[in-house]
Chain A
Amino acid sequence: MTSETLPDSGTIRDRNSDKSALVKAGLKRRYAAERRFRAYGVAGILFGLGCILLLFYTIGSNAIPAFTQTMLRLDITLDPQDIDPDAISTANYRKIVRQPVRALFPEVTSRRDKRALAAMLSPGAAYAVRQMVIDDPSLIGKRISILVPLSDDIDQLNKGAIKASSDETERRVSNKQIAWFERLQDFGLVETVFNTTLFTAGDSREPELAGIWGAVVGSFFTMIVTLALAFPIGVASAVYLEEFAPKNKWTQVIEVNINNLAAVPSIVFGLLGLAVYINFFGLPRSAPLVGGMVLALMTLPTIIIAGRAALKAVPPSIRDAARGLGASPLQVTTHHVLPLAMPGILTGTIIGMAQALGETAPLLMIGMVAFIVDIPGGVTDPATVMPVQIYLWSDAPERAFVERTSAAIAVLLGFLILMNTLAVFLRKKFERKW
């Protein structure tokens, strides 16, 4: 066999140069393929990063207008005839705020036009005056100057989202209203101010009166409940499974179970909450308490998995050293292992909480989608949370809600970025190589 298959050394040299030529001939094509492949990889990454940028740009550019609000400066005479000092809160403030506007446009006489003119004011204008009078009844009989919100359509017109040049039938503001608005601007009565309502008010049907504060507080209460439940239980589970549990079938079942739980769709947790917490235990719907309990179950696997990884990273030598000094197993864990693993556990917890903060679907199941105007005062008050508020607003037909939705998203993303930065910071600061 050898003598047949092995060519003598002369042909080897020929075959070598042959081969060399063959290899060289293919090189150009192969390097082109190499460059193409690399380019695909870069394209993949750029696509991903591009999506992030586009997303942030869309949200950002839509959100910016929401931070300002178009207001009208009104001089109002609080006539004691209109406001009965004994029934301040029930006076007809709508009429009171409309009068000075009508006075500016004496030529408007027809009923329809008068109504259209009044519609340029937000219902919030009357509330603002009412609040002012309730706060200080001595104002009655005096002349006051107050900034009141204009309706969302006028606000959109002022910000350019509704264009005066477009066809009248296609916009929500009539030509007459545009003309009046321009007159108001000429009078110097229109002011664009920072939109404090957005950050201090609860939800409202009127975009110009709607704010995210109610949702922020709701989210806060929900997160408190989630943290109070998920953190101790998660850490305890992680400690037990990593430090004390015998390695048997049962602990294996728990492990597999936790891994699978981490991948169960969030909406299923919502169904669990609806069936168990609300229907079985009769807990109140729409309450941060129930929302927090549902989210705690969702966050638990994240905390347990992160906690176990952090505990595993503590070297056995620490445990041996403590044991050698006569510490009981629980003392070894609580005095030495757990403190060393805490930064890792906290990082995992923060990431879990960030996920919970952005979660929407399970909260829809337990009724946190209700339209709630009041700012919740406790964990059992009806409330909504930021992502659900975003969902609700995104469904609203008014153009002005689009920018408010974006602003709410920007605030939510701000919180998430803050939390994740904190997690990264913790990891970097306490990262330790054993």
Chain B
Amino acid sequence: MSLSLILGTLSILTAIGFYMGRSRALVSADGDSHRLHSRPHYYGYYVAIWCGLPSIMFFGLWLAFEPNIVTSLLIDSLPAAQQQLGDAELGLLLNDIRNLARGDVTSREAGPELMAAAGYYNSLLQTSKLVLAAIAATLAVAGITFARTRIVPEMRARNFVEKVTMAALVVCSTIAILTTIGIVISLLFESIRFFQKVSPIDFLFGLEWSPQTALRKDQVGATGLFGAVPLLAGTMFISLIAMCVAAPVGLLAAIYMSEYASPRVRAWVKPALEILAGIPTVVYGFFAALTVAPFLRGTGADLGVDISSESALAAGAVMGIMIIPFVSSLSDDVIRAVPQSLREGSYGLGATQSETIKQVIIPAALPGIVGSLLLAVSRAIGETMIVVMAAGLAAKLTINPFEAVTTVTVQIVTLLVGDQEFDSAKTLAAFALGLMLFCVTLVLNVIALTVVNKYREQYD
């Protein structure tokens, strides 16, 4: 029985509930809808809610927990020897059973035991679906029956429907909070497991990053080195290069747009520059790797400078282009918020436009501009695809923009893409890096937003 079939049945039942509720209400009022407390369709919604809400919620919860329950049942059914396997090997075994059950290729010989397990797995899934369908349908029908008996003309159906809707609105508005909590908890949880394997001191202050855990226990450097300093330094370095491009270009563009450009020019240029913010970062990454890096390398070769094809300069410069609109749009808003009276005061003294801008407008807008720059830095730090495609993998402490450096985000991607073993320090390290990234950008954002808001209030 497919899931969409179950869901479809539930939806149809809910719709039936709606019509039954409405006609029931009309019948109970002898066809005179004015005798009803609420308009008839509210009684329809009333029944529909009783029918759909419990059953669909049950459906969702069942689906959310089904895989875990089925897996644990499957493990229980396995021979004791296999149950004793380590997490990683057990995971592989389970994967094979699942693949076999689906009829895909497996990594090992499909022995009779494995076949039996796959059969058992399939039957578990089958049973699960059947039970789900049975319970959900029962809930739906029970809901309709119950709600129908409650309908009398005096019943405040509208108030009930509105209360439920309001509750749904509240639940929706907490999803944003739940997301944040989810991020913090999942990052913290995995990071704590990482810090049980690697000391936080080594992580935060270690100067060496080489997470390649050895395949065999007896190899040299089996544990890997997890010093995050080179990654942080690399991230900051690339962000700095990006800001060296974005800050002057973005600010000058913002100043020109807000102070010099005619409304018509502004109406074209501002959205045009914002195109830069709408281009997917993977496109910038491709652009950096395909065009900018070879160009820089070629130029370097002509000048006798050795520029790595994954140089920090290429990644940083392209990232800078990407964040130009973040600087220019926000700074433009901020500059336009400077009261006209200050401009007039300056012109009234005989200042030229550029003198007014440099000596009055910019100082007045400075807090807001700093805020917009901080937001841009936070963007640059969290940016992933450009550096994944254009920056290097080797963690190196350097301030030479022609060399390759790596960043926090690049390492997260390298650690997590491809085959991963859970519980290895290597995988968990990605979460520790993620936590660090989250904290840094959060602090930057909070500071920036506070500064900008304070600034806005000042001139309101």
A and B touch in the complex (CB under 8 A): yes
A-to-B contact residues, CB < 8 Å: 23, 30-31, 33-34, 36-38, 40-45, 47-49, 51-52, 54-55, 58-59, 62, 232-234, 236-237, 239-241, 244-245, 253-254, 256-261, 263-269, 271-272, 274-276, 279-283, 297, 300-301, 304, 328-330, 354-355, 357-361, 364-365, 369, 387-388, 390-391, 394-395, 402, 405-406, 409, 412-413, 416, 420, 424
Q: Which residues of B contact A244 (CB under 8 A)?
A: 166, 169
- Whether B175 is near chain A, meaning CB under 8 Å from some CB there, is yes
* Identity of the chain B residue whose Cβ is nearest the Cβ of A297 in the assembled complex: B179
Contact A52 B67 (CB under 8 A): no
Q: Once bound together, how far apart are the Cα atoms of A420 and B277, in whole Å? A: 12
Q: Is the CB of B176 within 8 A of A391?
A: no
CA distance A240 to B172 in the complex (A): 8
Question: Given known contacts A236-B172, A328-B158, A360-B282, is B384 in contact with A34 (CB within 8 Å)?
Answer: no
- How distant is the Cα of A4 from the Cα of B166 in the complex, in angstroms? 77
Q: Please report the C-alpha to C-alpha distance between residue A123 and residue B419 in the assembled complex, in whole angstroms.
A: 29
Is B68 a contact partner of A51 (Cβ separation < 8 A)? no
Contact assessment for A304 and B176 in the assembled complex, using a CB-CB cutoff below 8 Å: yes
8 more contacts with CB within 8 A, not counting A300-B179, A361-B385, are: A34-B354, A51-B324, A239-B169, A261-B176, A264-B183, A358-B279, A387-B280, A391-B282
Q: Is the interface of A mostly helix, strand, loop or mixed?
A: helix
Q: B158 to nearest A CB, angstroms?
A: 7
B366-398 CB contacts (< 8 Å) to partner A:
375, 378-379, 381-385, 388-389
**B430 sits at the interface (CB 8 A):** yes
CB distance from B249 to the nearest CB of A (A): 5
CB B102 to nearest CB in A, in angstroms, measures 11
Whether A282 contacts B382 in the complex (CB less than 8 A), given A42-B256, A261-B176, A358-B279, comes out as no
User: Does B248 touch A at the CB level, under 8 Å?
Assistant: yes
Give the Cβ gap from A215 to chain B, nearest Cβ, in Å: 12
For residue A312, give the distance in angstroms from its CB to the closest CB of chain B.
16
Closest B residue to A255 by beta carbon equals B176
* A and B contact pairs by CB, cutoff 8 A, 5 listed: A49-B272, A59-B287, A237-B173, A282-B67, A387-B385
| Bound complex: CA A280 to CA B67 (Å) | 10
CA distance in complex: A424, B268 (Å): 13
CB nearest to B184 among chain A residues: A272
Q: Which residue on chain B has the smallest CB distance to residue A391?
A: B282
Q: Does B88 contact A (CB under 8 A)?
A: no
Q: Tally of A-B residue pairs with Cβ under 8 A?
A: 258
Chain A residues positioned under 8 Å from B280 (CB to CB): 357-360, 387, 412, 416
Contacting pair B413 A364 (CB below 8 A): yes
What's the minimum C-beta distance from A88 to chain B, rounded to whole angstroms? Answer: 22
Q: Evaluate whether A253 and B177 lie within 8 angstroms (CB atoms) in the complex, with A34-B354, A409-B286 already known.
A: yes
| Stretch in contact with the other chain, from B194-202, B206-214, B296-304, B431-439 | B431-439
Interface size on B, residues (CB 8 A): 93
B175 CB to nearest chain A CB (Å)? 6
The answer to whether B442 touches A272, judged by C-beta atoms less than 8 angstroms apart, is: no
Q: Is B215 an interface residue (CB 8 A)?
A: no
Output the nearest chain A residue to B291 by Cβ-Cβ distance: A58
The distance in angstroms between the C-alpha atoms of A395 and B409, with both chains bound, is 18
Given contacts A45-B269, A265-B384, A360-B385, contact A271 B434 (CB under 8 A): yes
Binds A, one of B121-129, B141-149, B185-193: B185-193
Docked CA distance A158–B166 (Å): 65
- B255 adjacent to chain A (CB < 8 Å): yes
Query: How far, in angstroms, from A297 to B290 measured CA to CA in the complex?
Result: 32
Q: Is B357 an interface residue (CB 8 A)?
A: yes
Determine if A271 and B166 form an interchain contact, defined as CB atoms under 8 angstroms apart: no
Q: Roughly how many angstroms separate A274 CA and B275 CA in the complex, as a whole number?
A: 31
Contact call A41/B256, Cβ cutoff below 8 A: yes
Would you call B32 an interface residue if the criterion is a C-beta within 8 Å of the partner chain's C-beta atoms?
no
Chain B nearest CB from A413 CB (Å) reads 7
Partner of A361, one of B71, B173, B272, B281: B281
State A236–B358 Cα separation when bound (angstroms): 45
Q: In the complex the two chains form, is A272's CB within 8 Å of B413's CB? A: no
Q: In the complex, what residues of A have CB within 8 A of residue B273's CB?
A: 45, 48-49, 52
Query: Closest CB of chain B to A316's CB: distance in Å?
Result: 20
Q: Measured between alpha carbons, how far is A215 from B255 in the docked complex, in Å?
A: 42
B328 touches A365 (CB 8 A): no
Contact of B71 among A245, A282, A364 (CB under 8 A): A282
Contact of B260 among A41, A329, A409 (CB under 8 A): A41
Give the distance to chain A from B336, nearest Cβ to Cβ, in Å.
Answer: 15
